[in-house]
Amino acid sequence: MPVVLAALEVMDKEPPLWLISLGCFGAGAIGMLVARRRPILCIPFVAVVLFVAFALYLELRDPFVGPSIVREGGFAYLAGCGVAILAGVGMPLLGAFAGARELEQSAEVWRWTSGVSGAVLLGLTLFVGSGFVEAAYYSYIFYPKEKAGDGYIMPLRWQDIVAEVSIASVLIGLFLLSTYLLRSALRPRHRNPKISPNS
């Protein structure tokens, strides 16, 4: 029985799918924007995502942890991680491709990529942000009020404050990044009027 309980606790120690997806899409979106200006700068962002993929691969290759991840997480976990990793690698490469070519030739591809990545990143950010706000509400407002009659005071250490502010800052940054990508995708095209040779 303890062996079964230990096996069921493997996924509790693994990063959840939403965290892997948010990290890969966030790194991919930033890398895409940076690589569009300087194509060579796609390399560090691709390397970070590949490092995450390699770490996950080592976990899956472990003879004890790997089968438990497959059994508990299922196909959805593995497929979601694969899609997130492919997006995290492909987005900076696409940004580098768009930056290396002329803007007119890659504008349509850039528009679609910005729209899809911005929508996915916005959805992930709002999902994680809602969970963050809910957890903060229950931890720092609801439960202290419920236990106030017993003389309970919620301990708030400086580490807690730094962690909460850091998470909130990252979520706000990802929210601004996703809205920027969506705005880039929905921005109307500017067509340059053709100058006739007789004018």
**Within a 10 A sphere around the Cβ of 45, how many other Cβ atoms?**
26
Q: Is the confidence at residue 183, as pLDDT, over 50?
A: yes
Highest mean pLDDT among 1-5, 12-16, 141-145, 178-182: 178-182
Residue 149: DSSP 8-state = G
- Model confidence band, residue 1 (pLDDT cutoffs 50, 70, 90): very low
> How many percent of the chain have pLDDT more than 90?
28
Domain residues of the chain, as ranges?
Answer: 4-8+12-186
pTM above 0.75, yes or no: no
Q: Is the confidence at residue 142, as pLDDT, over 80?
A: no
